[in-house]
Chains A and B, each alone.
Chain A
């Protein structure tokens, strides 16, 4: 390839890399990380809480007609989504990043079918709890000493409210 063209490719690439990094920052701030983008994972958060650490996780409760409740983890319900992506999926669907919390009829049917497959019954209600586990250091060990509920959302799987 002509040396001049190669040089232009390099100059253009350098400019685009700088520009896209700005776009990644803006898009990430207002929406979510764009793709494709030339960035490696930042692991920005420090996850530090006073003398210990806090970690977010979700629990899903499925309530059937008689009131009986079953707890299912996101890993069980969304087993096909890789571990590396599941926390992101939960944040986008149920967390602070969620754009639309209401379920469509298709989504409700999918969830009921999946829970029925796992437990043998079709649930009427779904409760999503976002929890914060607080760990502290004691005797050179990490100990979970409290759990806080950050968010709780109920879904009626019959009518979608």
Chain B
């Protein structure tokens, strides 16, 4: 049992320095363009001007503050966060800036949640802190080019720890639903929440308007049960890589349907799920394909690989982030076009993985 536990910690997920390096670049840019807490500087300006009486921190460390700090404080934190994410992208003093980015995200989230309502995005801040211990600055980074940097191995246990956190947190979402009566066939909870989101919050985009008038108890009850089975089962799936991957695929389907029906995209989680993609395979493909190119006659392009990866990823994210009318694409709903594109992107990746997996089964059988 002791041995099994240790194997689970160290051998469930294996990542190479190259794979971890690619994950670092994509993660840093994803946070930079899509997950910086708050809705821009105007959001923080609004908070800093609120009366102290409207500062209602949740129980925890934020209760040490008496009110919202001045705008300058938020501007400083945001500037530091942007700088640390840029440094994380290029892999300069990677471990330190990973932890700093995470702490800054958590601090900003703490103030945003001090208006009396907590959102559940803590893993956005925890993720870079955890990944700092994978040694994800060992490749595709300034650190790896520095002479003193000889540590070229990657640790995989932070991925197992991340899987455990995701599984546990999913479980915590499932338990209240069971206690609240979601499994009672005479009530349809998902439908009730659709009503709440649709009529109270104006979330009427995508399939919401169509489904708000769909009175099919069997369909809604199926969604109630499926949600609970998925959320509770996630914790058990943490034990085995193959189970967990299946649940990650379910998770993308789950977020996709939640976005279509309730207009809740939860794009933070996509970054977490992406950590369990096969980054080593991507690293091999990138190294072989781009590394084989010769921009200068007689010289390998391998030195340019990190630059190209950053340019391609940042370019794609800039296109999505700054789409014209991206924030006002849906008339009433607070859902924005960027979120819709990102969730669809995750869905496309999952469908591609499924297509590859399903495509392999007949060939295995033939053998």
Contact = CB atoms under 8 A, between A and B. Distances in A.
Interface in A31-45: 31-45
Nearest to A85: B117
Interface stretch (B22-30, B78-86, B188-196, B356-364): B188-196
B118 A13 contact: no
A68 interface: no
A84 B175 CA distance: 22
B177 A47 contact: no
A87 B4 CA distance: 46
B297 interface: no
B316 interface: no
A5 B169 CA distance: 24
A32 B177 CA distance: 18
A149 interface: no
Contacts of B53: 100, 103-104, 106-107
B197 to A, nearest CB: 10
Interface stretch (A59-67, A121-129, A132-140, A151-159): A132-140
Contacts of B172: 21, 24, 38-40, 42
A44 B176 contact: yes
A82 interface: yes
B164 A13 contact: yes
Interface residues of A, number: 63
A85 B121 CA distance: 13
A118 interface: no
Contacts of A104: 51-53
Interface in B158-173: 160-161, 164-165, 168-170, 172-173
B119 A38 contact: no
B243 to A, nearest CB: 18
Contact of A141 (B10, B42, B54, B213): B213
Interface of A: 1, 3, 6-7, 9-10, 13-14, 17, 21, 24, 27, 31-48, 53, 55-57, 79-89, 91-93, 97, 100, 103-104, 106-107, 109-110, 133, 135, 137, 140-142, 144
